[in-house]
Amino acid sequence: MNIKKTAFSTLIAVLVISSMVATPAMAAGGIGWSGDSAAPNPQISADVTVDEWNGSDFSEALQYYDDSGEAAQLPASVNASNDNPITLTATDIAFEQRDEFPRKDDETGENSASALDASEWTTSGATVSSTTTAPSVSALNYAGSASSDSATYSNFSVTDGEKGYLTIAADINSASGTPTLQVTDGDGDYVEVTLYDSGASAVDDTVLANSTGEGMVLQEQVGDLTVQGGGDGTFDSAEEITISGDVDADISVLDAERTRELTFGERLVENDDGELETEMITEPHGAYSVANMDGFDEVMSDATIYGLTVDAMFQASDLQDAENVNAEFSQDNDYPQWDSVGSFEYRMKLPTAFDLSYSNTEFVDEPDLPGERYKSVEIAEDVGDTEFADIESWSDVTSSFGSSEVTLDSTVSSGTVYAVSYDVVLTSGEVSAIQSAAGGGAGPMDTANGGLWDKIISIPGGIIAAVLGIFGINKFGGGS
């Protein structure tokens, strides 16, 4: 019997089986940061604005359309230290039912009327016209210059009008006095809200805005508003909407029929016990922040949000391409009290695309180890795809690694490629933690004092070694 041939066949079988065993996921280059890993993890922090965020194509805040129009994922993480890291404006949300009041289906099933259609209004002194509050967010512009100016919409009838929620989302461009919006029933009774009042409180239930600005939202159930006018004193079917006064407003949502409030997202707030709890946002004013992209109203599930800004961190741990990460461990006689020197190199940048813009950018590091453990830290700017070994423009920043946060560059530009290099003294336990966090090590992670055999003494490497031992094959290819 040819034992070596049998051993080889068995080895192949073991390789096939062991290759089927699931191994932990790892970051690019086999560098691991989870658990107790001491691998350096520098980051470029930035507020990222996505020009067009589409809920039908995206599921996470840090997705965007690349320059070919395809959905893409930024190599970044949402800033976990910010409870509400996503900022948007209500009038910059395009959703399917936004312009469907009144709900009048024609024979094709399409809505045959809209309160945002300027042609359906009648005016007295004021003007109404079509406009937008963001790209592809159609809106109605009302412009009045005197308290007596007005415009009226009457192409609807809502039975049980008191059950409907009056919902308005508007940009207030300019205003004077106290312009109003009234909803009137069939016999002359009406309810009224104020579109602008500089003397009102920001939380006044019946005032849309106390200052000019974008993204003002008011939602009040008609039956909760004070009934006025010369009718029978009770509000019946809603028949007419009238805007009056000196105001220039772009209205992206106008509804008096829906019997519930819309939810414009959710935010985390601290309660009286100092604990975080979720709060629904129904009346945002101006730019506002939410905890995630999951808390929006069901009618906004496929919404397009224009100008979505995310507090993001482009960390080394988010790198996706192995060529942008390099690491190796070696012994150094200059540091005999330490088991290894870990050498880490990263290539990082803020990606560019027509749909992306950045603000408040900064390249920082928050060292996990004492400053004296960092024997060398260097940074280079605008290195492109130059191999790490060929970069000549390194600048030494080692002396900065004695504080809790180190600024590597305070003026980061999108598209500029940065390289950062670390030499860090480590214990054998720390090296093991880094390798374990990476699923055993892969890619450019190397051990300078070992070879291929040392790398495979793991799962499945240990299995292979055991099989070879059984058949008397040593690691240099010989047998007994």
Dihedral class, residue 158 (left if φ above 0, else alpha if ψ from -120 to 50, else beta): beta
CB 416 within 8 A of CB 382: yes
394 contacts 376 by C-beta, under 8 angstroms: no
Closest CA to 3 of 477, 470, 356, 474: 470
Geometric angle at alpha carbon 479, from 475 and 480, rounded to 5°:
125
- Token duo for residue 360: 């408040």
Residue 29's pLDDT is what? 59
Type of residue found at 264: F
CATH number of 118-255: 2.60.120.430
Beta carbons of 374 and 401 less than 8 angstroms apart? yes
pLDDT of residue 212: 98
What is the SS3 assignment for 398?
Answer: helix
Is pTM beyond 0.75? Reply is yes
The pLDDT assigned to 46 comes to: 98
The pLDDT of residue 19: 35
Q: What radius of gyration, in Å, describes the C-alpha atoms of the chain?
A: 32
Asked whether the CA dihedral 370, 373, 375, 380 is positive or negative, the reply is: negative
The pLDDT value recorded for residue 4 is: 40
Task: Kindly report the number of other CB atoms within 10 A of residue 7's CB atom.
Answer: 17
Mean pLDDT by 10 residues, the chain (480 residues): 41 37 43 89 98 97 98 97 98 94 68 90 98 97 98 96 98 99 96 98 94 98 96 95 99 97 98 95 98 97 98 95 93 94 97 98 96 97 96 96 92 96 97 82 42 36 42 38
CB 295 within 8 A of CB 263: yes
The CA distance from 263 to 54, in Å, is 18
